Structure 1
Amino acid sequence: MTAGERTRGTPIPWEARQVAAMERFSVKEAHDLLRGLFGPRMARYWTDFTLSVLLAGTAFWAVGPLGGPSPLGVAAFAVSVLAAYRCFAFIHEIAHFRAKKSFGPFRMWWNAVFGIPMMVPVFMYECHGEHHNRKLYGTPQDAEYLPLARMAPSNIVGLLITPLFLPFFGPYRFAVLTPLSWCVPRVREYLYSNVSALKIDFEYRGRQPTAGEKWLWRGQEALCLAWIAAAAALLAVGAVPLSRLVQWYALFVTIAFVNSLRLLAAHRYLGDEDEMSVVEQMMDTVNHPRARLLGELWAPVGLRLHALHHLMPGLPYHSFPEAHARLVAGLPEDSAYRLTESAGLASSLRRLWREARAHKKAGTLLPRTPLKEAAV
């Protein structure tokens, strides 16, 4: 299948110059330009994440002494949000390098100090491999994708509203459904099929854990349940004031909202629910190379160069700046890779909204149900 052909559904509306650039693009040539950049440096991961955790925790605690709504309290809250958001983004790296033995201890550390307390244990992102599978990307088997540019604009709005409800998901998933699932097999099947994946496609159905994964998943569920029980007990006896619970809710909502903006800007979402080649995936994804420091705030740990990531999913985040520079310098100016660049977050959001409205006006929307869940 060439870059301009599709096997079924409504063809992706690539422009002529995009089709020509895609047909000329060589993944091998791009890969050759990046030699020596594929080895993850574990010291960088440990240092970056651990410092981010310490900063997030310190800033979260400082909100109280600084007076909450005061300017300094608000500043501390903003720092806690951005630092915690950066911590969260490391789950993406863990998903890609989970097969490496060197990532085993880091994975456990991330889960212990962040994943479990935030009720997003690592097993809930096991589905991420499907998002990079050539046969599954952009299809109903991809938990992280909806053809939003070809759906009603209300789906975009839904993704931005969902963060208000996400803080309730963890307690419901781990404090209600988890213990119930230990006794009722039918609930356990529902648990893993419907509420055990970080997703934006509400219709996505996850898999059951393998024999080797069963107790690992259940162990993480039990730890989340224990964490919720401990937090509830501390709140009940007054050891932790209710104001901290409100602050945690605000933290979670803000992180989820920023991540929703990032998700909307990460892809063009032009898929027709058919499989895509690596080059088509790259073209359906967006790089934000400008304003690097600002980009690291709303799309941390390499996520701002998302087209690069889909082109080379085995590239560690700390190599992204050098990899992008090499590709820009080594590939032709009319390379398909250069066509993935966006002027910024606002530009990407406007383009997605315009394309969704244009399809609605033309009556060419894809028949999908409204968006009801959001992810990483």
Structure 2
Amino acid sequence: MTAQEAIDLSPNAPTEAAERLRSSQIPDDKEMLRAAVELTRDIAAARPEIYWPDMLASTLVGYGALAGAILVSNPWAALALGLLASLALYRALLFIHELTHIHRDALPGFRFVWNLIVGIPMLIPSFMYEGVHTIHHTRTRYGTIEDPEYLPLALMKPWSLPVFALTAILLPPALLIRSAVLTPLGVVIPPLRKLVWGRASALAINPRFDRRAPEGKFAQMVFWQELGCSVWAIAVLAASYAYGWRPLVIALCVMSLTAFLNQVRTLVAHLWENDGEAMTVTAQYLDSVNVPPPAKFSELWAPVGLRYHALHHLLPSMPYHSLAEAHRRLARQFGAGTTYAKANYPGLMPLLERLARSTMRAH
């Protein structure tokens, strides 16, 4: 999405920031990279007995709480249920991240069912991340202008941070307009179809990212997911027109909170200190963030393994349910003061404060 175009993309970093950016050229810690693979071989397989119940339970709780928020008359009960719905659906939605990394044969039917009950109803089908997120993990593209999921936020103006976070609340109505209006119009207006695909079909934060047209089997998958989203979005708008707008407004509010939570998580997923140069794998790791125990509430704002985001950049295919154990093994192996320990942080607020201070120092 291109909602972040309001952010200043012409940072003018001073000497202090420039010194910090030299870390992008640090050599790889080969011992750490080798150990990350060797110490975790036995926990590298995705376990369906964990994936399926987790995703289905999160979805069920989310939709149940959303229905409760719509139906109850007590405003405080509706607020509490709306918050629960947002957190549960947030967890269910973030399985889209797992779909981009697990082997296509690892969990038969999981992608289809997730799209059917989560991706399409929430208007964020898996194609919006598949084929996009993998670029972020490409060795030569991470942190560069070609990375759809990277902005040098630490080097931008301080007001960029609240703009970045708050624009996320516009995502749900934008997705509704995209699926109900723009996608159908694109069928008869090819230039519009090309524009929507290139600029509004990816969960990207880099406003310069222009997505290539889908090809082969992926194009087939995109067609059916787009069709499902359009039919659902049009049906939702028609039902709201016929029976009242209150349920849709509440649902959009819940989803806006979910989008905001994810955007805040994104703010602390990396240090965002790279100015566009290609980075070594170790530099990418150190520009990323782990928030392991004893940090509180990290499982709420960074669910499905995303509190181990730096470790994920070392082991992109490691299933989310194995990341905590992988972290324990590597922490025991290397200990404090090592390269591995340098990507571990105590919590959300210290990371937000660090990012805010970085923007102030840069200007």
User: What TM-score does the superposition give when structure 1 sets the normalisation length?
Assistant: 0.87
In 2: Cα distance, 1:310 partner to 1:23 partner:
14
Do 1:55 and 1:83's aligned partners in 2 also have CA atoms closer than 8 Å? yes
1:144-183 residue pairs with structure 2 within 5 A?
144-183=149-188
Structure 2 equivalent of residue 184 of structure 1: 189
In 1: Cα distance, 2:215 partner to 2:338 partner:
42
Structure 1 equivalent of residue 12 of structure 2: none
Structure 2 equivalent of residue 231 of structure 1: 236
- Displacement of 1:74 in angstroms is 2.0
- Displacement of 1:229 in angstroms is 1.5
Sort the Cα spacing of 1:105 and 1:23 in 2 relative to 1 into closer, same or farther, 3 A: closer
- Displacement of 1:166 in angstroms is 1.1
Do 1:124 and 1:196's aligned partners in 2 also have CA atoms closer than 8 Å? yes
Counterpart selection for 1:61 from 67, 76, 79: 67
- Displacement of 1:170 in angstroms is 1.1
In 1: Cα distance, 2:119 partner to 2:225 partner:
9
- Displacement of 1:332 in angstroms is 3.9
- Displacement of 1:197 in angstroms is 0.5
Counterpart selection for 1:113 from 114, 117, 121: 117
Structure 1: give runs of 5+ residues left out of the alignment: 1-9, 361-376
In 2: Cα distance, 1:184 partner to 1:73 partner:
42
Given residue 111 of structure 1, which amino acid in structure 2 is its aligned partner?
N
Do 2:62 and 2:85's aligned partners in 1 also have CA atoms closer than 8 Å? yes
SS where residue 339 of structure 1 aligns?
helix
SS where residue 272 of structure 2 aligns?
coil
Matched, 1:251 2:258: no
- Displacement of 1:213 in angstroms is 2.2
Do 2:70 and 2:250's aligned partners in 1 also have CA atoms closer than 8 Å? no
Structure 2 equivalent of residue 310 of structure 1: 313
Structure 2: give runs of 5+ residues left out of the alignment: 1-16
SS where residue 75 of structure 2 aligns?
coil
In 2: Cα distance, 1:212 partner to 1:254 partner:
34
| CA-to-aligned-CA distance 1:1-34 (integer Å, 9 cap, x gap) | xxxxxxxxx8561699x99896575301222122
In 1: Cα distance, 2:123 partner to 2:94 partner:
14
In 2: Cα distance, 1:175 partner to 1:50 partner:
27
Sort the Cα spacing of 1:210 and 1:189 in 2 relative to 1 into closer, same or farther, 3 A: same
Structure 2 equivalent of residue 124 of structure 1: 128
- Displacement of 1:345 in angstroms is 0.2
| CA-to-aligned-CA distance 1:98-146 (integer Å, 9 cap, x gap) | x421334100111000100111011011200011101111111111110
Structure 2 equivalent of residue 210 of structure 1: 215
Counterpart selection for 1:201 from 206, 224, 230: 206
Structure 2 equivalent of residue 96 of structure 1: 101
Sort the Cα spacing of 1:230 and 1:260 in 2 relative to 1 into closer, same or farther, 3 A: same
Do 2:168 and 2:256's aligned partners in 1 also have CA atoms closer than 8 Å? yes
In 1: Cα distance, 2:65 partner to 2:191 partner:
42
Matched, 1:357 2:360: yes
Given residue 117 of structure 2, which amino acid in structure 1 is its aligned partner?
V
Sort the Cα spacing of 1:164 and 1:35 in 2 relative to 1 into closer, same or farther, 3 A: closer
In 1: Cα distance, 2:161 partner to 2:31 partner:
31
Structure 2 equivalent of residue 374 of structure 1: none
> How many residue pairs are counted as aligned between the two chains?
346
Identity of aligned residues (%): 36
Given residue 53 of structure 1, which amino acid in structure 2 is its aligned partner?
T
Matched, 1:264 2:271: no
Once superposed, which parts of structure 1, at least 4 consecutive aligned residues long, lie more than 4 Å away? 18-25
Counterpart selection for 1:48 from 48, 54, 76: 54
| CA-to-aligned-CA distance 1:126-184 (integer Å, 9 cap, x gap) | 20001110111111111111011111122212111202311221122112221122122
Given residue 298 of structure 2, which amino acid in structure 1 is its aligned partner?
G
Matched, 1:327 2:330: yes
Deviates more, 1:135-144 or 1:150-159: 150-159
SS where residue 27 of structure 1 aligns?
helix
Structure 2 equivalent of residue 294 of structure 1: 297
Question: How large is the RMSD of aligned CA atoms in angstroms?
Answer: 2.0
Matched, 1:26 2:28: no
Counterpart selection for 2:91 from 68, 86, 95: 86
SS where residue 340 of structure 2 aligns?
helix
In 2: Cα distance, 1:192 partner to 1:229 partner:
19
| CA-to-aligned-CA distance 1:304-350 (integer Å, 9 cap, x gap) | 11111011111100001111110110114221110111110000001
Do 1:12 and 1:272's aligned partners in 2 also have CA atoms closer than 8 Å? no
